[in-house]
Amino acid sequence: MNDAQQAIAPGLKGVVAGETALALVDGGAGRLLYRGYPIGEVVEHGTYAQVAELLWTDTWDPEATLACGPVPAEVLDVLRRIPTHANAMDALRTAVSAWGAVHGVLWPPTVEQARALTAFAPSALAAFARLREGLEPIEPDPSLGLAEGFLTQLRGARPDPAAARALDAYFMVGAEHGFNASTFAARVIVSTHSDMASAVVGAIGALKGPWHGGAPAEVVDQLHEMGSIDQAEDWIRGTLARGERLMGFGHRVYRAYDPRAAALRRVAESQSHAADWLEKAMAVEEIALRVLAEFKPDYPIKTNVEYYAAAVLQGVGLPPNLFPATFALARHAGWTAHCLEQGEVDVLIRPDVRYVGPAERSLPA
């Protein structure tokens, strides 16, 4: 087949670009398996530390722990120089880059690098969040798990256990999801024999895009914009009639109800202090699914993970401007696991491209 005959898949849709043993994303059946384990069971019985070890080592370790790591003084100096109005994703990306330079991270990627980088990131984000409020960063407590340690560094006090558990559940469902844009970016970078820190910097850059990592914050905005539950249906119909996206619904892969959304809904329902907000979210979801079925009867659009991620993150008290960066914290386990897997494959990712420019020609006289 010559170049002109080769099929093109914009956005690589439908193209199998590699193999992975980390997660099965079954969009048609609405299943997500981490190394064979259903996400619902993982969230119900596991912790983020156990999920991370599973992804990194293919071992389910009931005794696995993962605490927030320290922020090197050099990285803290960099964070102090970032304007307080900067996007939190920019600050996290910059911090990871500085961390990689300070530690001299090299190829090949290792599990030790993965653990250290995943532990460092929450402390860096918490430090920036406090600095922009005019507060000093707090040293991490090595006795606390990652989610609890992050909230403690963020607020200066240990969180309610239910809030820590809810955020840990969010970290679990956000840990890994196949060859999504940010994960694929990380694998491309590692495939060049660049280091894990550089790969995660690239992944954060990809996740910063609102089509990938910004939806939970936009869900909150939409729920506020539509007003009361009685006004929701008119607002939703108007939004769809204008051809605008309804955030929190639909997914590039899932045609059934997103299993991560189902797991997070159960977590959100356990947060009694977020009951009023959650009641509205659940009522709006029912209306939205009904209206979407009318607008797209032949194309199933179901609730995705961002919808109930918004409920959980709002419930634990995080400001919406930290939602995308908190998603990045969760995804560190998956990004770094894919770096390890790509390092084992050790093949440069370099797809072909079809040239559609002018034919060969001479420069004008």
Read off the DSSP letter of residue 12: G
Alpha-carbon separation of residue 192 from 185, 270, 340, 350, 353 (angstroms): 11, 45, 13, 10, 18
Are the CB atoms for 187 and 207 separated by under 8 Å?
A: no
What amino acid is encoded at 87 in this protein?
N
Q: Find the domain containing 118 and state its range.
A: 73-211+326-345
C-alpha closest to that of 49 among 142, 120, 135, 145: 145
Give me the residue label for tokens 């059946």.
29
Provide the CATH number for the domain around residue 289: 1.10.230.10
Let me know whether 245 and 277 are in one domain: yes
Which entry of 306, 332, 338, 341 is annotated as an active-site residue? 306
Let me know whether 189 and 332 are in one domain: yes
Let me know whether 188 and 231 are in one domain: no
Which entry of 148, 177, 251, 285 is annotated as an active-site residue? 251
Provide the CATH number for the domain around residue 132: 1.10.580.10
Let me know whether 279 and 135 are in one domain: no
How many angstroms separate the CA atoms of 313 and 267, rounded? 11
Q: What's the CA dihedral at 290, 292, 294, 296 to 10 degrees?
A: -150
Q: Where are the alpha helices (DSSP H) in the chain?
A: 39-45, 48-57, 73-81, 88-103, 111-131, 146-155, 161-173, 181-191, 196-207, 215-225, 229-241, 259-269, 275-295, 305-315, 323-345
Q: Given this model, what pLDDT does residue 252 score?
A: 65
Residue 19 lies in a domain: no
Residue 270 lies in a domain: yes
Let me know whether 253 and 336 are in one domain: no
Let me know whether 267 and 153 are in one domain: no
Q: Given this model, what pLDDT does residue 119 score?
A: 98
Residue 350 lies in a domain: no
Read off the DSSP letter of residue 68: P
Let me know whether 202 and 124 are in one domain: yes
**What is the number of other CB atoms lying within 10 angstroms of the CB of residue 239?**
18
Let me know whether 156 and 96 are in one domain: yes
**What is the number of other CB atoms lying within 10 angstroms of the CB of residue 301?**
18
Q: How far is CA 178 from the centre of its chain?
A: 12
Residue 358 lies in a domain: no
Let me know whether 174 and 82 are in one domain: yes
Are the CB atoms for 171 and 148 separated by under 8 Å?
A: no
Residue 148 lies in a domain: yes
Read off the DSSP letter of residue 303: B
Residue 170 lies in a domain: yes
Let me know whether 241 and 308 are in one domain: yes
pTM for this predicted structure: 0.89
Active site residue 306: yes
What's the domain count of the chain?
2
Let me know whether 205 and 340 are in one domain: yes
Helix (H, G, I), strand (E, B) or coil at 249: strand
CA atoms within 13 A on the CB side of 6: 11
In tens digits, what is the pLDDT along the chain, a chain of 365 residues? 455 556 787 778 778 888 999 999 887 787 889 999 999 999 999 999 999 999 999 999 999 999 999 999 999 999 999 999 999 999 999 999 999 999 999 999 999 999 999 999 999 999 999 999 999 999 999 999 999 999 999 999 999 898 899 899 999 999 998 998 999 999 999 999 999 999 999 999 999 987 776 666 788 888 888 888 888 899 999 988 898 888 878 766 656 677 777 788 887 777 665 556 777 888 888 898 899 888 888 887 888 777 888 888 888 889 989 999 999 999 999 999 999 999 999 999 999 888 999 999 999 98
Give me the residue label for tokens 């639909």.
250
Q: Given this model, what pLDDT does residue 314 score?
A: 83
Residue 31: strand pairing partners: 26
Residue 297 lies in a domain: yes
Let me know whether 193 and 221 are in one domain: no
| Termini Cα distance of the chain | 38
How many angstroms separate the CA atoms of 314 and 221, rounded? 12
Helix (H, G, I), strand (E, B) or coil at 273: helix
Are the CB atoms for 227 and 7 separated by under 8 Å?
A: no
C-alpha closest to that of 42 among 250, 267, 339: 267
Residue 227 lies in a domain: yes
Angle value at C-alpha 277, between 272 and 282, nearest 5 degrees: 95
